Structure 1
């Protein structure tokens, strides 16, 4: 993978992670206000962003399995860290939304 393509992948992972985390925050804020429809919409948006990142990772893993080595540097490590944080944040946001729904009943 050439350097430009690799940086596009790295930035794509960072952007997807950022979008997922932002949508997760929005889901919590909506649930806090009692707008559970918006909360669910934002959780779905977070899932879609994470699915995009998952597809990028799958492509990288496939190429690695085919013998095309991926340069692992601080950029890629940061992108993976950003993505894993977004995944954890989305999982917690889902729990927060459920708690707010329960409290609303």
Structure 2
């Protein structure tokens, strides 16, 4: 496996872990365990940061002209996983706010 492929797999793995934690947090929301959900979202955010670091390194290398990685299906797959993990986390954060406010009698 090339260094680029290893970096791409790191993005996929970290994004997958992030998304899994976000959906685990959503199950906590269904149980009205908002503190537990927030804790899981913090773990999700940490996994996303790992993916973000690798993505940023690849983008920086490309922009500096150091190397121009070939954009293949594996990289597209990695970006897809990374973006959906961020979306999942963002949505679960909103669900926490909505359902917690509803339980407290708010809007």
State TM-score, norm by structure 1: 0.91
- The offset of 1:66, in angstroms, is 2.1
How far apart, in 1, do the equivalents of 2:102 and 2:25 lie?
A: 16
Give yes or no for contact 1:28–1:93 (8 Å, CA) kept in 2: yes
Q: CA-to-partner distance for each residue in 1:12-48, whole Å, 9 max, x for gaps?
A: 1111111111111111111211111110101111111
> What is the alpha-carbon root mean square deviation over aligned residues?
1.1
Matches within 5 A, 1:28-67: 28-67=26-65
How far apart, in 2, do the equivalents of 1:101 and 1:37 lie?
A: 10
State TM-score, norm by structure 2: 0.90
How far apart, in 1, do the equivalents of 2:28 and 2:4 lie?
A: 36
Q: Counterpart in 2 of 1:9?
A: 7
How far apart, in 1, do the equivalents of 2:53 and 2:86 lie?
A: 14
How far apart, in 2, do the equivalents of 1:43 and 1:104 lie?
A: 20
How far apart, in 1, do the equivalents of 2:84 and 2:32 lie?
A: 26
Runs (4+) off by over 6 Å = none
Structure 2 unmatched runs, 5+: none
Aligned length: 103
**Is the partner of 2:69 in helix, strand or coil?**
coil
How far apart, in 2, do the equivalents of 1:93 and 1:37 lie?
A: 13
How far apart, in 1, do the equivalents of 2:88 and 2:38 lie?
A: 15
